[in-house]
Structure 1
Amino acid sequence: MSQAYFITGTDTEVGKTTIAAGLLHAARLASLSTAAAKPVASGCEVTVDGLRNGDALALLGECSLALGYDEVNPFAFEPAIAPHLAAREASVELSVARLLPAVRRVLDKGADFSLVEGAGGWRVPLAGRENLSDLAVALGLPVILVVGVRLGCINHALLSAETIECDGLRLAGWVANIVDPQTSRLEENLATLAERLSAPCLGRVPRLAVATPAAVAGCLSLRPLETSL
């Protein structure tokens, strides 16, 4: 059965793409076909092929289906700033109506396991009063939350989960990404997250010297997603 999820984080720089690439790699190890989309990306580099984003390239590298870069990342911007500001500077209107067809084209390829990665946290602005979370709602996808484990992560995680569910979407799972291994009372914090979040934990990823998709996949399990369907 084909599965697709929207993956978001508790904040920016919490390892969302690292975890997404790991999940895609884990799916490939389970002999599942994979596809991914990162509809909006800022902080792109100018190349001979056009603007390229490192996160989008990482996702593309874990897609088993034949996808072009522009399919994975249709809206790319050079400045490493909030996407709606980068789009405004480029005179591009970022709206759900514009993003939706591009993402659906990827999902319609019918991969066994597909991920749509957001940008930053859940309430990232688009044009007007729209947010990137509105795209997830329009797609109707269950959500995977990457929790950047550091001081303050419990509040960020619980507020994100509450907002996701208030938006009418199901929190399918969460991943504890240990961005600060020196977090005080680490085990107690993780226990509190497990107790308070309604969805299953897909894994705990330590601070890895080299966070390759294969190394991250070894810390994750897709099995809880099956039981949460």
Structure 2
Amino acid sequence: MSAYFVTGTDTDAGKTLVTSGLLALAHRRGLTTLGLKPVASGSDPTIEGLRNADALALQAQTRPTLPYATINPFAFAPAIAPHLAARRAGVTLALDDLVERTRPLLEAGRALTLVEGAGGWRVPLNETEDLSDLAAWLELPVILVVGLRLGGISHARLTAEAITASGLRLAGWVGSLVDPAFADDDALYRDNLTTLAATLPAPCLGIVPRLPAGDASAMAEAAADHLALPDGD
């Protein structure tokens, strides 16, 4: 049984695509899986309540499946920082609540559990706590999704340093091509990947190209073709 916290260098770095792709890859190998999105903003109203597209993508890759509220206990409508979205909804996010909801799921015996953060590493929960504190309290190794775009090297290195400073192990990183124009100069693109591999203190688990738009499950399967599970999984 293995569990990891998945973070990104920034918002829209490709965390959900990579997280769902890793879960799909594990399922191909016959493993039980669980994808969690404890806090999500940018959710849509439905007859069943607010639903977040990223959380739904993780629910689709959770085998055996679980209720939506288990995957994503805190969903907010505005596509803004979670602590601000929670404030607008009259909700106080607290680390203790997230730990209480998440820890039993980590002990449920799934072969691979991935807990996806929101935005980058230091997204606040409230005035004194960050979502990264959840990874620290649960002592989860971290998978870093690097948005491959101009400035990505610095963002990746700073995030890796912050993860290490939190006392956590960086288990691996994944490059996600979020800006197709970034790969127009093939030599420069490969030089960037070489620099990331040389400077990040963890193995590369894959490079996910810009994939054709499709439903979440199809994109997860496509991403899985470009990924490897961390050592031991």
TM-score under structure 1 length normalisation: 0.96
The aligned counterpart of 1:36 is 35
The residue number in structure 1 matching 2:147 is 148
CA contact under 8 A between 1:72 and 1:106: conserved in structure 2? no
Which residue does 1:74 correspond to in 2? 73
Residue pair 1:36, 1:106 contacting (<8 A) in 2 also: no
Structure-1 residue corresponding to 2:226? 219
Kept after mapping to 1: 8 A contact 2:20/2:35: no
> Which amino acid is the alignment partner of residue 83 of structure 2?
H
Compute the displacement of 1:217 (Å). Answer: 0.1
Tell me how far apart the structure 1 counterparts of residues 15 and 209 of structure 2 sit (CA, whole Å). 14
Report the equivalent of 2:200. Answer: 197
Aligned partner letter, 2:225? G
Give the letter for the 1:67 counterpart: L
Distance 2:64 2:169 in 1: 26
Query: Deviation of residue 210 (structure 1)?
Result: 3.1
Within 5 A, what are the aligned runs for 1:29-178? 29-178=28-177
CA distance in 1, matches of 2:107, 2:44: 29
8 Å contact from structure 2 (residues 5, 116) kept in 1: yes
2:213 pairs with one of 207, 210, 215: 210
Question: Cα distance, 1:23 vs. partner?
Answer: 0.4
Q: Is the 8 A contact 2:44 2:52 kept in 1?
A: yes
Of 106-115 and 53-62, more deviation after overlay is shown by: 106-115
Q: Distance in 2 between matches of 1:145 and 1:138?
A: 18
Deviation at 1:181, TM superposition (A): 2.7
The alpha carbon displacement at 1:104 in A equals 1.5
* Number of positions where the alignment pairs a residue of Structure 1 with one of Structure 2: 225
Q: Is the 8 A contact 1:37 1:106 kept in 2?
A: no
Q: 1:40 Cα shift?
A: 0.3
Structure 1 segments unaligned to the other structure (5+ residues): none
Separation in 2, partners of 1:34, 1:57: 14
Deviating 4+ runs (over 4 angstroms): none
Does structure 1 conserve the Cα–Cα contact (< 8 Å) formed by 2:19 and 2:58?
Answer: yes
Q: Distance in 2 between matches of 1:225 and 1:89?
A: 41
Tell me if 1:188 matches 2:196: no
Contact 2:13 / 2:178 at 8 angstroms: preserved in 1? yes
What root-mean-square deviation, in Å, do the aligned CA atoms of Structure 1 and Structure 2 show?
1.2
Q: Secondary structure at the match of 1:173?
A: strand
TM-score (norm. length: structure 2): 0.94
SS in structure 2 at match of 1:123: coil
Q: CA deviation at 1:28?
A: 0.4
Q: Residue by residue, what CA displacement relative to the aligned partner does 1:38-72 show, whole Å, maximum 9, x if unpaired?
A: 00001111101011000000000000023110000
SS in 2 for 1:221: coil
Q: Give the Å deviation of 1:74.
A: 0.3
Q: CA deviation at 1:106?
A: 2.1
